[in-house]
Amino acid sequence: MRFAKNRLRTAAATATAVALGAAGLAALPATASAATAGLNVQYRTSATGASADQAEPWIKVKNTGDSSVQLSGVKVRYYFKADSASATYRFACSWAVKGCANVTGTFGTLTSPTATADRYLEIGFTSGAGSLAAGADTGDMQLRFYQASWQPLNQSDDYSFGAAQTSYGSWSKITAQLAGTTLWGTAPAGNGPTDPPTDPPTDPPAGGATLFDDFNYSGYSDPRISANGWNVRSNSGGPGVPGATWASENVTFSTTGGNSIMNLETSTAGTAATTEQTEVLTKATKFKNGTYAARVKFSDAPRSGPDGDRLVQTFFTINDLTAPMADNYAEYDFEYLPNGGWGEPANILYTTSWETYNPDPWQAVNQHTESRQSFSGWHDLVLTIDGSSIKYYIDGQLFGTHDAAYLPERPMSINFNQWLIDLAGQTSTTARSYDQQVDYVLHIKDQVLTPAQVATKVNAYRSAGTTFQDTVPSS
């Protein structure tokens, strides 16, 4: 982001969050017998009232197959009816045999809402949860979720809720998937694995004003960068360490795997004077509804020197705040913190949709989804904005759906930056540097593409040898 927001996550950081991504099963040798995969979900509730301050689904997942499974590939969904269209929810883990740090939770919106379900809580596991042997279960997971406003929940119309389920028992109204395949439970009507069909056309719609850049440049001073509408930042100011430099020379370009790559390097030796941050952004604020996509490589470890700095690696869109709490402000973020920060002790990824804020005294109006796990490596990031919602996808999977209240009123710029929240995470005066890499960026004006359609579009540009195109009209 382009402005200081050290207090941005104060409240958000208290909520537990969610992992995504499913680990695939290894193929068996041709001579081996095929393993039988199976899961079972046992459920009880610790909050039995039709109205409650928070829902408390306690869950055990059992491996009923005949071979071990990695828990990082398991996803469990608890379905419920939102208490209002604008309600937002927070997930927390009170206690778990596998450790709450290894249990994640995120919220999603159903494609086909029913009278008893239009949202779901998806429970996942980090790699730290390990594997589950055949016949073993996860043990107790004492989970809960609540409205961000702490208004009471109406559980009586929630699909997965069972008021009489006060001791553990198999519960088919909670589903479990392994590597994307549903192995247990029944989703609300119209939301099963083939409702709607899972094979929509992957060809993107024809037409649509487009920005595509493969970042095929020789260096930060390449005149084509400015000619193509980009600014490599060198001016002072936030966000990040006060007094730090925004070093345009630390934005470099190379070729990896046949693709041109943009690298943003951020470095420090533990003082503001030695801190250099990087940002690349469009000069024009002309992007609003449609699809935004980028392939980004996040890094957990520094390229050199000691680790531990509270770093923020980003892909986002933004316009200016015309006045405190102005209702025409808009911002949509992917932000990865490899070493934590904003009250978080370890790596976490946020997606945040902003309505507005007041810098002093701090007041924020936003909706966010977060996941506490490592996202080190390359990721396909897709953001779609239409007239009804904002959706965030990571590696083809829906990560978060945010409400219509946060839709943009004015066009925005497109930005990538890497910066340090502060210098308290690593106090060493030894020089260190961190890299964030970007493969491409794509925007399709006023069209919502699936992640598969985004991939088709990018492949078509590359097959045609097109490294840059911008047909998006000025706002």
pLDDT digits (tens, 9 = 90+) for 367-418: 999 998 899 999 999 999 998 899 999 988 888 899 999 999 999 999 999 9
* pLDDT-derived band at 202, boundaries 50, 70, 90: low
Report the mean per-residue pLDDT for the chain: 88
Question: Range with the lowest mean pLDDT among 117-131, 161-175, 436-450?
Answer: 117-131
DSSP E strand stretches across 17-102: 39-45, 51-52, 57-63, 69-70, 74-80, 89-96
From the list 302, 237, 242, 247, the residue with the least C-alpha distance to 272 is 242
pLDDT at residue 25, as a whole number: 25
**Mean of the pLDDT values across residues 9-26?**
29
Please write the tens of the pLDDT for every residue from 334-374: 999 999 999 999 999 999 999 999 999 989 999 999 998 89
Q: Is residue 81 classed exposed, middle or buried when 0-12, 13-18 and 19+ CB atoms within 10 A define those classes?
A: buried
What is the 3-class SS of 182-199, one letter each residue? EEECCCCCCCCCCCCCCC
Cis peptide before 188 (omega within 30 of 0): no
pLDDT at residue 112, as a whole number: 83
Please write the tens of the pLDDT for every residue from 30-80: 333 345 778 999 999 999 999 999 999 999 999 998 888 889 889 999 999
**Mean of the pLDDT values across residues 124-153?**
91
Helix extents (H) in 132-270: 223-227
Model confidence, pTM:
0.63
Cα end-to-end span (Å), the chain: 21
pLDDT at 28 > cutoff 70: no
Per the model's pLDDT, the better-predicted residue between 12 and 390 turns out to be: 390
pLDDT at residue 8, as a whole number: 41
Residues linked to residue 316 through DSSP beta bridges, in sequence order: 333, 415
Whether 298 contacts 436, CB under 8 Å: yes
**Mean of the pLDDT values across residues 432-457?**
95
3-state secondary structure of 286: coil
3-state secondary structure of 464: coil
Q: Is 422 left (phi over 0), alpha (psi -120 to 50) or beta?
A: beta
Whether 359 contacts 322, CB under 8 Å: no
